[in-house]
Amino acid sequence: MKPRPAEAIALLLLLAAGPQAFAQNTASLTEGGALFVLLPVGGRAAALGQAAIADGGHSEAAFWNPAGLALLEETELAVHHAVTFASNNTALSGYFPVSGLGVVGFSAYLVDLGSQEITFGPDLPRGRTSPKGIELLASYATTVASDLAVGLNYKLIQFRQDCSGDCGSSRTVVGTTHAVDLGMQYGLANDAVRLGFALQHAGFKLQLENEGQADALPTRVEFGIAYRVMLPQPTGAEEALDARILFDVQDEWGHPDNPDARVGLELGYGDLIRLRSGYAFLQSEGRGPSIGLGMRLGRFAFDFARVFFASSNLDEPVHISLRAIL
């Protein structure tokens, strides 16, 4: 059974932003509403311990470092879904390489925190509240030099609590704001080493009640590196064997004193099969190991991840991504 919406939001704050934000933001449903944008998106990145700032060539990059979209060579349509202890999260993406221009596309992301009946007296339901987080992205990425890629997201972010029926004081509230993500990636040694930088969720405050109550967006600065090495090829192998190590550091914009670290390892047989694992060294209940699998058969790809919380008894998330390469 999922927690009630009020409990779910409190738990998400603890998972995404740590104990300090949890203590400051559980007073009401409307506080800290934009923190849902910190939840990981995609079976690929989640399996790699969320180390994705120097990764690219797929639609997930829009949620981590938009510069990684510049490596996309073919049109990709994708569905990314996660089942967590408190919510069901779904992202729909479509990205399109345009000759001479770069890569353009869009994503829509929904975090559904379920619903809760409002009762007056014993077992007399009168209404229902349904809190949700919504994020819409428009992305552009391109290669400005042979080894340098840049990317940009414009984002509309909305947190809403809808009411149907008689909800008493728990009325419908909606807050909408705007933000951008900026990213860069630079390849070295024939792209065996890739460096990444991203500024995420930089924008206006999210206001639900009044200007004084408005919450700043959880702006983050991230640096990452990915190192790829080719492995000895078995006799008769049709695909190349390789291994990648990825490492990221993330910190809050303006408060560079408590960084999070993330590390991922990937072993692959071409694009046919990719084995992944990672560890997220986070200052929150979201820290812990992860494992996953990626497969591609023709024009279709599948990514799966399971996350294990190191110090929590919460149900652990499962991430699934389905991609069509056109």
Predicted pLDDT at 40: 94
Sign of CA dihedral 236, 240, 245, 246: negative
Q: What DSSP letter does each residue of 118-139 carry, written as one string?
A: EESSTT-EEEEEEEEEEEEEEE
Predicted pLDDT at 220: 95
pLDDT tens for 79-97 read 999 998 888 999 999 999 9
Q: Quickly count: other Cβ atoms within 10 Å of residue 311's Cβ.
A: 7
Token readout for 132 is 């949700």
- Picking from 298, 292, 244, 239, the residue whose alpha carbon sits closest to that of residue 269 is 239
Predicted pLDDT at 20: 44
- The phi, psi pair for 146, rounded to 5°, reads -60, -30
Range of lowest pLDDT (16-20, 43-47, 106-110, 188-192): 16-20
49 HSE (CA, 13 A, CB side): 25
pLDDT surpasses 70 at 109: yes
Predicted pLDDT at 16: 62
pLDDT tens for 230-275 read 999 888 888 899 999 999 999 998 887 889 999 999 999 999 999 9
